[in-house]
Amino acid sequence: MIKLRSLAIENWPERDRTLWQQANSAARSVFDETHGEAMKLRPMTRSNYQRIYGTWLQFLKDNEWLVAGEDPGDRVTRDRVRAWAQSMVAVGRAKGTIGLYKISLHAMLKIIAPDRRFEFLYRPGGRSIWVTYRSMPKPFPDHDIEALL
């Protein structure tokens, strides 16, 4: 199966990388209450957001939509997000995974482009994303227990 690749952070556009690094900046001392917005998140969550955002950027790059100097919020359009979701379907991503990727992209954008609103990422067509990307349970094989023992 073809895998979706994540663009390494050192290859992100400079503005995106700088905004993400600022969001991940720790307080200078215990008396300094100022820290980056991403520091409120668990390390695994930050890592997942970075990886999924890198997947988004790689998708844009592969389609020649990644323009240097463009604001991160300006490249998020309904058509591009729809194409991204279709590419994930094409490589076999589950509906629930696609929904999670879109929600993670939205969360990342809230951190690096807080002045922008992207409700269409988590409420496509005005419905809950979990209605749109309803997960289907994985089929489990039916085995005869006695035969297995």
Q: How far apart are alpha carbons 18 and 37 in whole angstroms?
A: 13
| pLDDT, average across residues 50-60 | 95
Rounded to the nearest angstrom, the gap between the alpha carbon of residue 32 and the centroid of all alpha carbons in its chain is 30
N-to-C CA span, the chain: 34
Rounded to the nearest angstrom, the gap between the alpha carbon of residue 44 and the centroid of all alpha carbons in its chain is 13
Contacts of 54 (CB under 8 A, 6+ apart): 6, 7, 8, 9, 12
SS3 content of the chain, % helix, strand, coil (to 5): 60, 0, 40
H runs (alpha helix) in the chain: 14-23, 43-62, 78-90, 95-112, 119-122, 129-132, 145-148
pLDDT in tens, 86-137: 999 899 888 888 888 988 999 999 988 888 888 777 765 666 655 555 666 6
Q: Is 1 or 37 the better-scoring residue by pLDDT?
A: 37
Asked whether the whole model's pTM tops 0.85, one would answer no
DSSP tag of 129:
H
Query: Phi-psi category of 91—alpha, beta or left, where left has phi over 0 and alpha has psi -120 to 50?
Result: alpha
Q: How far apart are alpha carbons 57 and 52 in whole angstroms?
A: 9
Crossing angle of helices 95-112 and 43-62, in 10° steps, is 100
